[in-house]
């Protein structure tokens, strides 16, 4: 399995990579297949069946609406988030969607089904059925396996969740292998990753596309810092990033009395801005998921704001080193909250951010691995229990806390020599095993934990 930095960081929309981005991609793939096979003009109606975690929290995560947009040919990185609501409402009202140029009957109550049962292989399963004029039914099952990654039933059954067999010059499947390659070649982790990325693109293209990712992250933060009001979904969660940002800007001005400027407060506001924008269904970047999308941008913004020597090259190195850790988490455990709990999302993102920061601060490969291990180790066992099935409580604050934790992990690693008791490989394996032991109600179903233990005053 060959995984690129651009698999770990993908431009999409909120509020969830597994429950919004994945279903939209799956539905778009299904619609594309129908069109390419010449079946689109023969389709009378389309039926969508969402299972498991997709069903349990599908409405809160917009899985149903994302699926509908995908059937209409939209992709997460291209769709205008502002148009999703009105277009879905129009389909529901008119009971008609467009499959390319063809109008298809679509009755929301009949054709958009959220089912209690689960499919094999992964909690995030969905089946799409196209009913043809001749009575035949063409169907395909997909699994959204975290971070916007989608596989079909055949891939899931084979256990091969990625068909990319690109030969990499420095392929690795463990942190031990990665460190060995760095030692043998004398390359840093980011430099080694750059050589691997060249198997797909030129270095110029890699740098240009990573700049686009960084621009998208910056735009998400900027938009999140200006957003006000109540987040959608019914919990009446008020946005906080705008007010906190205003307060931070006032600190240090004449005649302003209050708290002192703190870098940690800036980290908090950056993370809150991203995750509030994600919760509102805005444009953002999976890093490596939507639920954990604020951690890496917050840490990178922190570095770029407070390090006078920060440069565009540091952004590239940060992303590449972070992606190396994300690849290890995905290969050897999971980045899906529905599969292993929030440790797979926030824990992986914290480890990735710690590694990226350590890399640009001049850490050795061993120190980078140590930073990632610290970041992951202290998120082990973290459950995914979103209140109301929404990526708001505790998800938004959890990103801010993990971003600060990632910075501390990098600082601790830089104070050492890279030698440590628990390896990153051990931590990732523990995350996998802990996720397997974790009760399903703590894995993005909103049936346990904080999601059911609210105290009403």
C-alpha–C-alpha distance, residues 372 and 151, integer Å:
28
Tokens read off for 89:
């409402």
Helices 365-377, 424-437: axis angle to 10 degrees equals 20
CA distance to 113, 191, 210, 294, per residue, from 15 (Å): 20, 33, 22, 12
Q: Per-residue DSSP letters for 91-154?
A: HHHHTEEEETTEEEE--HHHHEEE-SS--SS-SSEEEEEEEETTS-EEEEEEEEEETTEEEEHH
Which residues partner with 215 through β-bridges?
A: none
- Number of helical H runs and strand E runs in the chain: 20, 9
CA distance to 86, 234, 288, 445, per residue, from 124 (Å): 26, 24, 17, 10
**Block means of pLDDT (10 residues each) for the chain, length 457 residues?**
94 95 97 96 96 91 96 96 95 95 94 95 95 96 93 85 83 98 98 98 98 98 97 95 91 53 87 97 96 98 94 98 98 95 98 98 98 98 93 96 97 94 97 97 91 66
Kindly indicate whether the domain formed by 14-158 is annotated with CATH number 2.120.10.70: no
Tokens read off for 10:
């993908």
In the three-class reduction of DSSP (H, G, I as helix; E, B as strand; rest coil), residue 238 is classed as strand
Segments of the chain assigned to CATH 3.30.1330.90: 14-158
Query: What is the fold of 175-452?
Result: 2-methylcitrate dehydratase PrpD (1.10.4100)
Nearest-5° Cα angle at 155, 444 to 442: 10
Segments of the chain assigned to CATH 1.10.4100: 175-452
The pLDDT score that the predictor gives to residue 257 is 44
| Residue in the structure block whose two tokens are 């506001």 | 269
What does pTM read for this prediction? 0.92
C-alpha–C-alpha distance, residues 168 and 175, integer Å:
16
Tokens read off for 266:
């800036």
């Amino acid at each position: 399995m060959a995984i690129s930095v651009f698999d770990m960081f993908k431009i999409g929309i909120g509020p969830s990579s597994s429950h919004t981005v994945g279903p939209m991609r799956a539905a778009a793939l299904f619609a594309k297949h129908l069109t390419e096979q010449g079946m689109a003009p023969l389709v009378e109606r389309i039926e969508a069946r969402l299972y498991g975690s997709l069903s349990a929290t599908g409405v809160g995560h917009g899985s149903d609406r994302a699926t509908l947009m995908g059937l209409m040919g939209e992709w997460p990185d291209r769709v205008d988030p502002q148009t999703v609501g009105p277009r879905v409402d129009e389909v529901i009202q008119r009971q008609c969607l467009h499959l390319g140029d063809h109008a298809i009957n679509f009755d929301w109550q009949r054709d958009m089904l959220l089912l209690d049962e689960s499919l094999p292989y992964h909690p995030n399963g969905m089946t799409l059925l196209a009913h043809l004029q001749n009575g035949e039914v063409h169907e395909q099952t997909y699994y959204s396996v975290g971070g916007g990654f989608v596989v079909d039933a055949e891939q899931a059954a084979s256990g091969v969740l990625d068909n990319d067999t690109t030969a990499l010059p420095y392929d690795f499947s463990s942190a031990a292998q990665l460190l060995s390659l760095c030692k043998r070649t004398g390359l840093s982790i980011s430099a080694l990753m750059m050589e691997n990325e060249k198997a797909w693109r030129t270095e110029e293209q890699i740098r240009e596309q990573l700049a686009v990712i960084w621009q998208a992250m910056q735009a998400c933060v900027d938009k999140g810092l200006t957003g006000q009001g109540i987040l959608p979904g019914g919990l009446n969660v008020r946005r906080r990033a705008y007010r906190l940002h205003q307060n931070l800007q006032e600190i240090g001005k004449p005649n302003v009395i209050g708290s002192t400027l703190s870098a940690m407060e800036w980290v908090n506001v950056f993370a809150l801005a991203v995750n509030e924008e994600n919760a509102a269904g805005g444009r953002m970047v999976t890093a490596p998921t939507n639920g954990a999308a604020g951690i890496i941008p917050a840490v990178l913004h922190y570095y770029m704001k407070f390090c006078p020597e920060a440069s565009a090259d540091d952004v590239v190195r940060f992303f590449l080193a972070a992606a190396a850790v994300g690849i290890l988490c995905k290969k050897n455990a999971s980045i899906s909250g529905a599969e292993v709990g929030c440790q797979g999302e926030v824990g992986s993102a914290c480890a990735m951010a710690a590694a990226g920061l350590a890399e640009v601060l001049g850490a050795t490969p061993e120190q980078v691995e140590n930073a990632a291990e610290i970041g992951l180790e202290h998120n082990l066992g973290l459950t995914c229990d979103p209140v109301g099935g929404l990526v708001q409580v505790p998800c938004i604050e959890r990103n801010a806390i993990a971003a600060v934790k990632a910075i501390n992990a990098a600082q601790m690693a830089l104070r050492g020599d890279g030698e440590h008791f628990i390896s990153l490989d051990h931590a990732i394996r523990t995350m996998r095993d802990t996720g397997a032991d974790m009760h399903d109600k703590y894995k993005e179903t909103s049936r346990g934990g904080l999601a059911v233990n609210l105290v009403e005053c």
